[in-house]
Amino acid sequence: MSQRSCLSVILAAGEGTRMKSAQPKVLHQIAGLPMVAHVVKAAEAAGASGLALVIGHGADEMRKAAARFAPKAETFEQEKRLGTAHAVIAARAAISRGYDDVLVMFGDTPLIDADALTVARRRLAEGAAVVVIGFRPPNPAGYGRLIERDGKLTAIREEKDCSEEEKKIGFCNAGMMAVAGAHALKLLDAVGNENAKGEYYLTDIVEIASAQNLDVVATEASFESALGINNRAELAQAEAIWQQRRRHDAMLSGVTLIAPETVFFSHDTEIGADTIVEPNVWFGPGVRIASGAKIHAFSHIEGATIASNCDVGPFARLRPGADLRNKAKVGNFCEVKQAVIEDGAKVNHLTYIGDARVGAGANIGAGTITCNYDGYSKFFTDIGEGAFIGSNSSLVAPVTIGNGGYIASGSVITESVPDDALAFGRARQKTIPGKGKELRERFASAAAAKKKAAGADH
């Protein structure tokens, strides 16, 4: 089957009014990726070499989004919404190129399993002209039933048209199907609109193909894989299913999740074996974690690279461009952005490191910040190997702290510091004996007078 060419036609023109959103429905995200992009990934995993996106509502926004998640896809606009068969035929130019297999998919089914598509394609390779993907929902009410006879699919019956016996059928239409490319246009062009809505229904090709003595069969996908998204509640349900799958896969691959239900992954999270993730950790897009790392509770990580045996958190935030090298540590209530923390360096607590390099073995004291932004431009801070930055220091970029440099606590550093030098950048302390007692007495007297005056006013 690997030699068979395949086109995936993904229907993504729906307005999604039940989402209550100005954004096209299929651009709402699951695990940080538009739901239609999940469908694209499944199609590609099933061997689709051609992609045709049928768009409508928010066409310009859809084209811009597609350029990011499916740059090789063609887009076809369905100007009038006249049914699912009408939507598929909008991609006539792509279908007419003579693909062996044509997969028809929906952009609002983000959990579709590539294996279900592969099984449908295999049935085409075995000689079927149309393969309908079905599923068995917990409650079939409202779904079209798949009517089979002698192993062949003879019709898809909408519930309102079902007999009482047919309503007992639990095998339902998931909407997706695979069609042999040699028959696709002929079958689609034969679909009429003689129905109450005057629309062209894709499901009609089942009876059309059967009438032409073409083989029509049904395959089965899981209920979760066929789940369609129509509103925000269903979007959250799909997110929960996706996360549950990803957590399960992570743990089977050697990752320890202490409280799996509290950890959230992104669609592209990479995490190595022997990594331990504590409760309440969120991974945004673009995170890569090597083996043996430890991610403590309540950390928020996106766009970051974490090397082997690093230690992060608790309550750490790694923003895009954070690059932690082997055995680096970023501790509690620290934020790192667009910065390299080299081997064994420590950023322990209450610290901001942005647009910077922290050299191997350096130690950053509590309350240290790199002052990297002047309101208009960003500037770089370079901290050398083995440097020691005392607590509550401000490093005003652009500035360089040399290898082995030592910054006294409470310093504001505005000039570069040579290797192995000690730098102070703070006012000299002055101590006045007895002045503390005098101030307390003065403040207490003023407070008592204010309270007495307030009482007199009442």
Between 35-45 and 114-125, two packed helices, what is the crossing angle to 10 degrees? Answer: 40
Task: Using only the alpha carbons of the chain, give its radius of gyration.
Answer: 31
Q: Which two tokens stand for residue 307?
A: 């090397």
Q: What sign does the CA torsion over 436, 439, 445, 447 have?
A: negative
What are the percentages of helix, strand and coil residues in the chain, rounded to 5?
Answer: 25, 30, 45
Q: Which of 414, 406, 330 is nearest to 379 (CA)?
A: 414
- 111 CA to centre of own chain: 13
Strand, helix or coil at 261? helix
Strand, helix or coil at 256? strand
* ∠ Cα 144 148 150 (to 5°): 175
Active site residue 349: yes
> Are residues 148 and 154 in contact, defined by beta-carbon separation less than 8 angstroms?
yes
Q: Which of 393, 394, 424, 422 is nearest to 406 (CA)?
A: 422
Which of the following is catalytic: 38, 57, 183, 349?
349
In this structure, how many other beta carbons lie within 10 angstroms of the beta carbon of residue 123?
A: 20
Distance CA 322, CA 304 (A): 5
> Largest alpha-carbon pair distance within the chain?
106
Catalytic residues: 349
